[in-house]
Structure 1
Amino acid sequence: MNNPLVTVEELAAERATGRPLVLADVRWTLNGPSGRADYEAGHLPGAVYVDLEAELTTHGPSGGRHPLPDLGTFQLAMRRIGVSAATPVVVYDGATSLAASRLWWLLTDAGHPSVRVLDGGFAGWRAAGQPVETGPGAAPAPGDFVVAPGHRRVVDAAGVAALLDGEVALVDVRAADRYAGENETIDPVAGHIPGAVSRPSTQNLTEAGGFRPAAEIAERFADVVGEPVLYCGSGITAAHTLLALESAGRTGALYPGSWSDWITDPARPRATGSTP
């Protein structure tokens, strides 16, 4: 399994070769303003802004708070930023890779063979003294990428329900207090899916926002056997933990609707309290 992360030093060296490369800036804050202002205030040279809310999700009556995007909308967005199957893509956000992981997951699920995330994001790039551009950015030549989803394992609510008494691990990657049902400030129902273990995604990161070494991430999940099903509040943070797992040589499945989808049916069981 190839490392899905690229360091600032590796990316700088790759850019210096002049070979074609698509850089996607996906800065985003939950319930916050668009990240475009941050992008225009400073971004990697040649990077193009991607709007997570408008282009990487489809808001509707079902599927949780951030359902997967309409395929046509997503394909148009990727072509707009110059994505083609033969051109490597590097995705980044402000620092933590939380938003970047959404686009990484979508593109790899859609069949793109070379997608990586800039470890440490824009903050790491700027801290290393690398060049920065400002302004709205120039539009690249359109790409011709064809979205063909299905390259990753996805589990829906019915699939999760079938796992509750099985051997496949279910992992909740939200903050521990939300898992326990003690501090739910986003979704209308608190708690977690019964049988899920708690592995907060933020604990995969250093204080600077980069990912911990692969060995440390592997240790965090040493007792989670096989290929776990990951969920969070609305599917975005779960992709972030999958990115961490793959940087450590493992993989898993995603429940895109996650907790915000699970709780839409009152017949589905819920649990509270913490686990080791």
Structure 2
Amino acid sequence: MTIIDRTTVDEQDFNTLIPVDCRNVMDDMTASLDRIAESPVEGAVHIPQYPWMFDDEGLNHGRHPVPVRSIVEKLHESLVQASGEVPLLFDDEQQFFHTRLYYLFRLYGLDAMLWNDSVDSLETLSTSFGSTTPALPGPNQSRTGDYSDVQIGLLVLMEDVKEAVHDEDVLLIDVRSRERYLGLEEPIDRKMGHIPGAVNIPYGSFFTAGRMDFASHEHMRHFLDSFKEIIVYCGSGMSATPPFLVLQEMGLPVRLYGGSFSEWITDDNNTIETGDAPLNERILSLNE
């Protein structure tokens, strides 16, 4: 079992788990450190976003590129100091920094566990963890690795998406807010709208009471099962990781578009749609 919560905690040997605090404020290191200082978890090591969760010299473009293998491996190596130890990643409720790091570890075949519950519930277990807090390496690390290093079944690049928009057997899911999907507003990126043909299943719908809900989209299973592949994306590939995990836990053939919408718009040859895609009407009817 790699995703745990308070209901499955008794099945784990906490002495082998390294608590990894992934709480952050997007693109703001100072605010991130202030957030941790407000409610530190004893024995946990905090992971900054850069370069461990995204890196300018990563595999794709957009706002938050996927780091290359050497960066992710170096971080994992610093966390796991003894045989049998496994990082346990946690975050605030309904957040995505822990799921992003969990996804990156899996992308490169590295062991990790994910805490799908509140920080408060984890704090009650803090005395069960080992006594050693790992030290992180410095951010100035060599970058080696390319797309051939990743678990291909987990990641797609922009060229893959360019083909997918013409394939009726592939479903593109945009998990941003409905307003951003429709092209009514865009607070971050320079263009508005969505990748052609994509449907909109907003981020928040994958959670119940702040936790990823792996049964949240069972009512859509027949629809989702009708596609040979599902590609999920957001603005930059960060917040799409919880929806990716929910869909994967459902047993669906899902991959993450690492560059997401912020990379898609870097190529002016890529078209953008606004308003509802015809297929999205089926999504809306399923949610009524």
Same fold per TM (> 0.5)?
Answer: yes
Q: Is 2:19 the counterpart of 1:38?
A: no
- Does structure 2 retain, via aligned residues, the 8 Å contact 1:5–1:247? no
Aligned to 1:216, the other structure's residue is in SS state coil
Match in the other structure for 1:223: 223
Q: Is 2:28 the counterpart of 1:27?
A: no
Match in the other structure for 1:197: 199
Match in the other structure for 2:96: 98
Once the two structures are overlaid, the 10-residue window that deviates more, 60-69 or 83-92, is 83-92
Q: Is 2:56 the counterpart of 1:59?
A: yes
Q: Distance in 2 between matches of 1:198 and 1:252?
A: 15
Q: Deviations over 1:190-228 (max 9, x none)?
A: 00011111111211112x31122x333232454123330
Q: Distance in 1 between matches of 2:210 and 2:204?
A: 9
Aligned to 2:270, the other structure's residue is in SS state coil
Aligned to 1:90, the other structure's residue is in SS state strand
Q: Where in structure 2 are there 5+ consecutive unaligned residues?
A: 138-144, 282-288
Match in the other structure for 2:150: 150
Q: Where in structure 1 are there 5+ consecutive unaligned residues?
A: none
- Does structure 2 retain, via aligned residues, the 8 Å contact 1:24–1:92? yes
Match in the other structure for 2:45: 48
Q: Deviations over 1:71-101 (max 9, x none)?
A: 3332222222226784333211111241111
Code of the residue aligned with 1:230 in structure 2: it is: V
- Pick aligned residue for 2:268 from 249, 261, 266: 266
Q: Distance in 1 between matches of 2:65 and 2:219?
A: 31
Structure 1 residues 129-148: aligned runs within 5 Å: 130-131=124-125, 139-140=133-134
Q: CA deviation at 1:158?
A: 1.3
- Does structure 1 retain, via aligned residues, the 8 Å contact 2:65–2:258? yes
Code of the residue aligned with 2:114 in structure 1: it is: V
Aligned to 1:236, the other structure's residue is in SS state coil
Q: CA deviation at 1:103?
A: 0.6
Q: Distance in 2 between matches of 1:85 and 1:194?
A: 47
Q: Distance in 2 between matches of 1:165 and 1:74?
A: 33
Once the two structures are overlaid, the 10-residue window that deviates more, 167-176 or 31-40, is 31-40
Match in the other structure for 1:243: 245
Once the two structures are overlaid, the 10-residue window that deviates more, 163-172 or 35-44, is 35-44
**TM-score of the superposed pair, with normalisation by structure 2:** 0.79
Code of the residue aligned with 2:210 in structure 1: it is: G
**Could you say which structure has the higher strand fraction?**
2
- Does structure 2 retain, via aligned residues, the 8 Å contact 1:218–1:245? no
Aligned to 2:180, the other structure's residue is in SS state helix
Q: Distance in 2 between matches of 1:124 and 1:251?
A: 32
Match in the other structure for 1:180: 182
- Does structure 1 retain, via aligned residues, the 8 Å contact 2:205–2:216? no
Q: CA RMSD in A?
A: 2.9
Alignment length (residue pairs): 260
Q: CA deviation at 1:142?
A: 8.5
Code of the residue aligned with 1:66 in structure 2: it is: H
Q: CA deviation at 1:131?
A: 5.0
- Does structure 2 retain, via aligned residues, the 8 Å contact 1:228–1:252? yes
Code of the residue aligned with 1:162 in structure 2: it is: E
**TM-score of the superposed pair, with normalisation by structure 1:** 0.82
